């Protein structure tokens, strides 16, 4: 193992009285700090490992258009999740339009791997996929007292230091260092998914060092808009994340409500682009309803409520189980079918509910199983507190299903109450159960709500338009930059801390 630097930051004669005086000073300070952390955690230097994998050193000066994009995301397929699937779809779209893509991500497959990666995981892996070259960096494995140590360190006054040490982050100093030395071609850098600030900070580092535009798709979870003290929104708009938003040359948001949140963080309106997500019905429709319901031992008189998510309290999975348990106790003919992986808080809860006659957990689904899953449902539910949009809602609509969700985050903006779905006050489990009763009683109304949503997927949620907006925005920003009509923000103009 290559020895790590001294844990004492080497400031030398550098003037750090104003740490935000230049981009270079910010990078040097952050390098000193992360070197300190890396040495104590025995993180190997990946320089020699990655050097052999790099393309020949090239300059992007004079290259027309959008030739090479680097995407930074916390996980990437085969990891399952909305941001992960979107990153792969965006990479494939850019590749189809003659833009080469490199993905920088962690080696995590399960969400817990971000903090507790499996033993023996390679420190660096590069793989070639049809849509991109993917470079995976191993997170540092958790250690006793990690949360409290990082919590204390995160109170440092520098925004980059906070980005690197906030406790919810995976610790991945090798990726940060890689961003500081990458010499391959790049025209734009695009980072996805707050609150994983280390990934976005690494993207910022590369973009500013190379003088190319930085784009963010933060997928901000803004929780219950009626609650001015909502803890989810506070977490996703913490001061270091607001700072990152203000560094971006373009930000893609999914709803008008998310745009309002971003603008409230001090971002210039012309840099915020309302995008939204799309759905491809070929990927989620066409399943076998009758066969699947027979497999679930459910007859046509039973209303099946489906929920596909990373099962957790945050996604509303526990609230759903509680609501259906109340319906079952009252004698309503219903079945709740859960699908997807589960977080520890749900797994602990499930041990107290396992074997419930009205509740089934399928686990993760294959593409074919997902089509069958939707085909066998009568209602889809996502009472999530932490979704910026909710791609599964579009998939449910594509199958003609009504959606039920909390008035929180993207789902609360996406669903039109009593037109294509039903909305419930966040956390109101009793009212959630009441809405399910309304749908159980009125199968014709269920079909009307689902049909209205299905019509919207044809006109409002087409991937071609959504992805082309991203490509065109990046392309136009690069052209403006190269023709002198736009300049990359400097520390002096864009790195205020508040």
Convert the pLDDT of each residue in 142-185 to its tens digit.
Answer: 888 888 887 887 787 788 888 888 888 888 999 999 999 999 99
Q: Higher pLDDT residue, 24 or 471?
A: 471
Per-residue model confidence as pLDDT tens digits over 404-436: 999 998 999 999 999 999 999 999 999 999 999
Instruction: Report how far Cα 129 is from the mean position of its chain's Cα atoms.
Output: 21
| 334 and 187 in a common domain | no
Q: Is the pLDDT of residue 320 over 70?
A: yes
- What mean pLDDT value characterizes the chain? 85
Distance CA 248, CA 474 (A): 12
What is the rounded average pLDDT of the residues 455-477?
96
Q: Higher pLDDT residue, 159 or 109?
A: 109
**What per-residue confidence (pLDDT) applies to 489?**
60
Per-residue model confidence as pLDDT tens digits over 389-401: 999 999 999 999 9
Res. 53 pLDDT band, cuts 50 70 90 = very low
Residues whose CB falls within 8 Å of the CB of residue 13, separated by 6 or more in sequence, listed in order: none
**What per-residue confidence (pLDDT) applies to 64?**
58
Per-residue model confidence as pLDDT tens digits over 142-154: 888 888 887 887 7
Distance CA 73, CA 152 (A): 26
β-strands 188-192, 214-217: how paired? parallel
Q: Higher pLDDT residue, 179 or 47?
A: 179
Q: Is the pLDDT of residue 340 over 70?
A: yes
Where in the sequence is the domain holding 323, given as residue range(s)?
A: 281-459
Helix crossing, 173-181 with 197-210: angle to 10°?
10
Least Cα distance to 309 among 290, 336, 333, 269 occurs for 336
| 452 and 370 in a common domain | yes
Residue 12 is assigned to a structural domain of this protein: no
Res. 244 pLDDT band, cuts 50 70 90 = very high
**What per-residue confidence (pLDDT) applies to 147?**
80
**What per-residue confidence (pLDDT) applies to 498?**
29
**What per-residue confidence (pLDDT) applies to 199?**
94
Q: Edge-to-edge strand order for the sheet containing 214-217?
A: 124-128, 133-137, 100-106, 68-72, 188-192, 214-217, 250-253, 272-274
Distance CA 38, CA 44 (A): 8
Distance CA 45, CA 66 (A): 31
Q: How far is CA 324 from CA 55, 244, 314, 378, 426, in A?
A: 55, 41, 17, 14, 17
β-strands 100-106, 250-253: how paired? unpaired
Cα diameter, the chain: 78
Residue 387 is assigned to a structural domain of this protein: yes
CA atoms within 13 Å, Cβ hemisphere of 130: 5
Residue 4 is assigned to a structural domain of this protein: no
Instruction: Count other C-beta atoms under 10 Å from residue 257's C-beta.
Output: 18
| 108 and 215 in a common domain | yes
**What per-residue confidence (pLDDT) applies to 149?**
83
**What per-residue confidence (pLDDT) applies to 23?**
47
**What per-residue confidence (pLDDT) applies to 162?**
85
Instruction: Report how far Cα 458 is from the mean position of its chain's Cα atoms.
Output: 25
Residue 164 is assigned to a structural domain of this protein: yes
416: left (phi over 0), alpha (psi -120 to 50) or beta: beta
| 369 and 239 in a common domain | no
Res. 3 pLDDT band, cuts 50 70 90 = very low
Q: Count structural domains, the chain.
A: 2
**What per-residue confidence (pLDDT) applies to 61?**
39
| 254 and 170 in a common domain | yes
| pTM (two decimals) | 0.83
User: What percent of the chain has pLDDT above 70?
Assistant: 85
Q: Is the pLDDT of residue 227 over 70?
A: yes
Strand-pair partners of 133: 102, 128
| 303 and 160 in a common domain | no
Residue 375 is assigned to a structural domain of this protein: yes
**What per-residue confidence (pLDDT) applies to 44?**
42
Distance CA 124, CA 146 (A): 23
Residue 8 is assigned to a structural domain of this protein: no
| 374 and 241 in a common domain | no
| 443 and 380 in a common domain | yes
Residue 2 is assigned to a structural domain of this protein: no
In this structure, what CATH number is given to the domain that contains residue 423? 3.40.50.2000
Q: Which of 57-71, 187-201, 235-249 has the lowest mean pLDDT?
A: 57-71
| 257 and 312 in a common domain | no
| 393 and 263 in a common domain | no
Q: Is the pLDDT of residue 310 over 50?
A: yes
| 316 and 269 in a common domain | no
Least Cα distance to 69 among 248, 175, 206 occurs for 206
Residue 53 is assigned to a structural domain of this protein: no
Q: Is the pLDDT of residue 91 over 50?
A: yes
| 245 and 291 in a common domain | no
């Amino acid at each position: 193992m290559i020895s790590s630097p001294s844990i004492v930051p080497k400031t030398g004669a550098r003037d750090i009285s104003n740490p935000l005086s230049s981009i270079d000073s910010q990078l040097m300070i952050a390098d000193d700090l992360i070197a300190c952390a890396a040495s104590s955690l025995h993180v190997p230097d990946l320089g020699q490992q990655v050097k052999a994998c790099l393309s020949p050193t090239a300059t992007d000066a004079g290259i027309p258009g959008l030739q090479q994009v680097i995407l930074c995301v916390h996980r990437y397929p085969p990891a399952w999740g909305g941001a992960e699937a979107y990153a792969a779809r965006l990479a494939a779209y850019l590749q189809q339009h003659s833009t080469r893509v490199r993905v920088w991500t962690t080696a995590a497959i399960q969400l817990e791997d971000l903090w507790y990666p499996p033993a023996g995981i390679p420190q660096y892996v590069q793989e070639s996929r049809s849509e991109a070259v993917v470079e995976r960096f191993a997170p540092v494995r958790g250690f006793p007292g990690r949360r409290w140590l990082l919590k204390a360190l995160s109170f440092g006054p520098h925004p980059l230091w906070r980005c690197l040490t906030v406790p919810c982050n995976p610790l991945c100093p090798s990726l940060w260092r890689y961003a500081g030395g990458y010499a391959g071609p790049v025209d734009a850098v695009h980072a996805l998914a707050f609150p994983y600030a280390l990934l976005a900070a690494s993207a910022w580092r590369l973009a500013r060092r190379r003088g190319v535009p930085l784009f963010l798709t933060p997928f901000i979870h803004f929780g219950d808009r009626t609650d001015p003290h909502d803890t989810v929104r506070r977490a996703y708009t913490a001061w270091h994340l607001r700072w990152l938003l203000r560094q971006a040359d373009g930000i893609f948001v999914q709803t008008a409500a998310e745009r309002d949140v971003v603008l409230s963080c001090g971002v210039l309106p012309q840099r915020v682009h309302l995008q939204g997500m799309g759905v491809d019905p070929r990927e989620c429709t066409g399943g076998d309803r009758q066969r699947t319901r027979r497999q679930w031992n459910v007859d046509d008189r039973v209303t099946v409520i489906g929920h596909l998510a990373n099962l957790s309290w945050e996604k509303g999975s526990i609230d759903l189980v509680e609501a259906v348990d109340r319906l079952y106790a009252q004698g309503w003919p219903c079945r709740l079918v859960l699908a997807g992986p589960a977080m520890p808080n749900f797994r602990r809860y499930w041990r107290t509910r396992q074997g419930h006659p009205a509740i089934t957990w399928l686990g993760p689904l294959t593409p074919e199983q997902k089509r069958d899953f939707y085909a066998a449902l009568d209602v889809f539910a996502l009472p999530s507190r932490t979704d910026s949009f909710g791609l599964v809602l579009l998939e449910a609509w594509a199958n003609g299903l009504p959606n039920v969700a909390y008035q929180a985050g993207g789902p609360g903006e996406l669903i039109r109450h009593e037109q294509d779905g039903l909305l419930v006050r966040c956390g109101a489990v009793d009212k959630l159960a009441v809405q399910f009763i309304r749908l159980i009683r009125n199968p014709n109304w269920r079909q009307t709500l689902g049909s209205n949503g299905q019509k919207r997927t044809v006109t409002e949620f087409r991937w071609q338009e959504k992805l082309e907006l991203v490509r065109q925005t990046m392309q136009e920003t690069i052209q403006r930059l190269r023709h002198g009509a736009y300049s990359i923000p400097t520390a002096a103009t864009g790195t205020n801390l508040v």
